[in-house]
Amino acid sequence: MLYNIFIDPFMQMGAAPDLLVQTIWEGLVAGVLYALIALGFVLIFKASGVFNFAQGIMVVFAGLTLVGLHQKGVPAWLALFLTIGVMGILAMAVERVVLRPLVNQPDIILFMATFGLTFIIIGLGEFIFGGEPKQMIADELGLPQGTMRFDILGGKVIIQKIDVAAAVIASLMIAALALFFQYTRIGRALRAVADSHKAALSVGISLNQIWVIVWFAAGIVALITGIMWGARSDVSFGLQIIALKALPVLILGGFTSVPGAIVGGLIIGVGEKLAEFYWGPLVGGGIENWVAYVIALAFLMVRPQGLFGDKIIERV
Amino acid sequence: MVPAQHIAPGDALLKVENVSLRFGGVKAITDVSFDIKKGEIRAIIGPNGAGKTSMLNVINGFYHPQEGLITYKGATRAKMKPYVAASQGIARTFQNVALFKGMSTLDNIMVGRTLKMKSSFFWQVFRHGPAMQEEIVHRRMVEEIIDFLEIEHIRKVPVGKLPYGLQKRVELGRALAMEPELLLLDEPMAGMNLEEKEDMCRFILDVKEQYGTTIALIEHDMGVVMDLSDRVVVLEYGRKIADGTPDEVKADQAVIDAYLGVAH
């Protein structure tokens, strides 16, 4: 038994390194997408202290809008720009209707409000575009299709081109966000708001404006996530449960850290794929769905603020 | 927005008339009137709970008084948002230091330039063209302030790691970066040792001399108040009990009673 848990999996890894590489690659790909979802959460949480339950549905809604517009005869690129516009309108609407009236309310109230927002967006999405799953318009957007094969380590590794594209686009976006946060006036204002609302107000930063910007940024992140994830499966409301996958990522990486979301996402992605492939057979498989939460739970006991998160000391 | 009127030195830059502020049944400020003249250092003093900080919060728009009028640069207002107050040249510091703790000294002070920077979101996103030139211009201003406050050695340090006295100095720097016309300082010397206090006094006087900034400050150290300020307003339990030059206020019986207690 102990042999099966602690030794045999590593023997297998050593015996077939190409399979190991393949598994890790698939984990990384899944991890990038988890990281993107978590990133959407982190952006909003940092700037407003709101845990945005609706991030998952925003991913679906963005994908749905894009595909839906295309189905109605709008060219793919125009549909993309229109979707970006829709996410902007959504951000403004959320700020005006949800955040502004609830300013200074306890966090749990705002959390519940995003809960409600989730169902409003579901209803809205179904009403406009219908509830049936849709095919992502990956081709029309110029995303690469097909696979690449590499013969390495005495075996072969198969890589989907779309996954490579996803990884590249995600990295570019994360780098752009990091630069934006670090070196621009608005980026600094965003960080300032995350640190102290009072002080930010006193230097003339408008909280309402900042909230619109972060929700818009989270909307863009959601759109990219929706495209990438949709291209791997399809765009359906079932996709929103991936938002729950962001939870272990956030616990691992810390709720307030952008690098944390990325590293956390990759760890969870690789961790669950490895666990499924090498340890899954011991219990009859299917552990991919819950092993992430086990990792997160174990992590909570050791480092509750996450890998990179701020230490939270609250007086009781 | 109301057009800004030109105020000559010696005229009232800010006038507070019959302001009352309540939180539910608690009266924080009751019927207080005073003015702040352009170019002066105006101290607001009083025992704990006298409503001094509330008064500053009213002036920079954090609180909206139920009654009374506030006239700033000739424009009278009923309600003003902090954002508008800041854009009209009112800057402030806080009693318990409100800095952006995760950010460096430099970034903290750069945030103070937010309102002076105008490049559009578009350029900001690409960090290019006008946004880049603007960064450079404002960075130079910030370096001047850093020089002025003698905090060159801590410019890259996250302010959360700095000792309290230096944090207060960075906070002053952030307020100065806004190039304010009216600077509100809430206990700028609280918790400082003698040497730090002397430095801070020097900076405050220099700000007044070099930039011609009007300053309103709350302070508990009477020595400091008497040395620095041109005029003093004294609050107790939310009411004004005295107003005048430091010497007048010092000799005022109501003030002495408020500070030393009165025999019943």
Instruction: Evaluate whether residue A205 is within a structural domain.
Output: yes
Instruction: Evaluate whether residue A154 is within a structural domain.
Output: yes
Amino acid at B205: L
Q: What is the mean pLDDT of chain B?
A: 86
Per residue in B112-134, pLDDT tens?
888 877 665 555 555 566 677 77
CB-CB: which of A187, A189, A196 is closest to B98?
Answer: A196
Check pLDDT > 50 for residue B179.
yes
The nearest alpha carbon in chain B to A184 belongs to B124
Query: In the 8-state DSSP scheme, what is residue B36?
Result: E
A 206-265 residues inside an 8 A Cβ radius of B: 206, 213
The CATH class of the B1-80+220-264 domain is alpha beta
Q: Using alpha carbons only, what angle is made at residue B236 by residues B232 and B241, rounded to the nearest 5 degrees?
A: 55
Closest CA to B167 of B140, B145, B142, B188: B188
Query: In the 8-state DSSP scheme, what is residue A259?
Result: H
Which two structure tokens, joined as six digits, stand for A291? 């092993």
Alpha carbon of residue A78 to chain centroid? 24
Q: Is A199 on the interface with B (CB under 8 A)?
A: yes
What is the pLDDT confidence band of residue A240, given thresholds at 50, 70 and 90? confident
Query: Nearest CA to CA, how far is B263 from chain A (Å)?
Result: 40
Per residue in B207-263, pLDDT tens?
999 888 999 999 888 888 888 999 999 999 989 998 999 989 888 888 888 887 776
Residue B94 contacts residue A202 (beta carbons within 8 Å): yes
Query: Nearest CA to CA, how far is B127 from chain A (Å)?
Result: 7
Which two structure tokens, joined as six digits, stand for A281? 């057979």
pTM: 0.80
Q: Is A186 on the interface with B (CB under 8 A)?
A: yes
Per residue in A80-113, pLDDT tens?
999 999 999 999 999 899 888 887 778 888 889 9
> What is the pLDDT averaged over residues B95-124?
80
- Cβ-defined contact of A191 to B94 (cutoff 8 Å): no
The predicted pLDDT at position B20 comes to: 92
Q: Under 8 Å CB-to-CB from B119, ≥6 apart: which residues?
A: A185, B129, B130, B131, B134
Alpha carbon of residue B91 to chain centroid? 5
Q: For position A148, which CATH number holds? A: 1.10.3470
Domain hosting A40: range is 20-302
The total number of structural domains that make up chain A: 1
d(CA B228, CA B210): 15
> What is the pLDDT averaged over residues A299-311?
75
Q: N- to C-terminal Cα distance for chain A? A: 46
DSSP strands (E only) in chain A: 147-152, 155-160
Check pLDDT > 70 for residue A75.
yes
Query: Nearest CA to CA, how far is B90 from chain A (Å)?
Result: 8
The predicted pLDDT at position B120 comes to: 57
> What is the pLDDT averaged over residues B96-103?
86
Instruction: Evaluate whether residue A313 is within a structural domain.
Output: no
d(CA B76, CA B91): 18
Q: Is A185 on the interface with B (CB under 8 A)?
A: yes
